[in-house]
Amino acid sequence: MEQFMEPLLGGGLIGLSATILWLGSGKTAGISGIIGGMFQVQRSQMLHRVLFFMGLVLGGVICTQIEPQWIYVSVERSMPVLIAAGLLVGIGTRVGSGCTSGHGVCGISKFSTRSIVATMAFMFSGFVVATWMAGGIA
């Protein structure tokens, strides 16, 4: 039971933060859109984007100070593979008009057909690629 509590708590906090942002400002908590918007010139939209991003970073820093094993990640891929993966994720968020947080957390909760289809597409793709990388697809 203990193994389910941390993911449950984390998911609840993600949902709560997305709800607070949406109810407080009408903005969707899509990470790619929030961070991408930080590089645009609209000063009126900058404060919530910077604060949200700082919350992500500071939350990770605080968690590593409290319980370092919560954030530990073991990477067994080469740097070129990681760079290619990052670029593909970035391209996917642009082509799909959003990321897992925007579509998966916020869009589905708003019953957006586009977000439901997008989430199904990237989840299916993730399953296929993860299975292939683990050697399950010849």
SS3 69: helix
Residue 106's domain spans which residues? 2-133
Number of independent structural domains in the chain: 1
Q: What is the pLDDT of residues 33-53, one digit of tens each?
A: 788 778 876 777 788 788 888
89 found inside a domain: yes
Look at residue 138 in the predicted model and tell me its pLDDT: 59
Q: Is residue 138 assigned to a domain?
A: no
pLDDT tens string 107-126: 888 888 988 998 898 889 88
Token pair, residue 104, equals 């998966």
- pLDDT score at 41: 66
The residues near 122 (Cβ < 8 Å, ≥ 6 apart) are 92, 96, 100, 103, 104
| pTM for the predicted model, two decimal places | 0.64
Q: Is the pLDDT of residue 8 over 80?
A: yes
Q: Distance of alpha carbon 99 from its chain centroid, rounded?
A: 6
Least Cα distance to 32 among 109, 124, 112, 95 occurs for 95
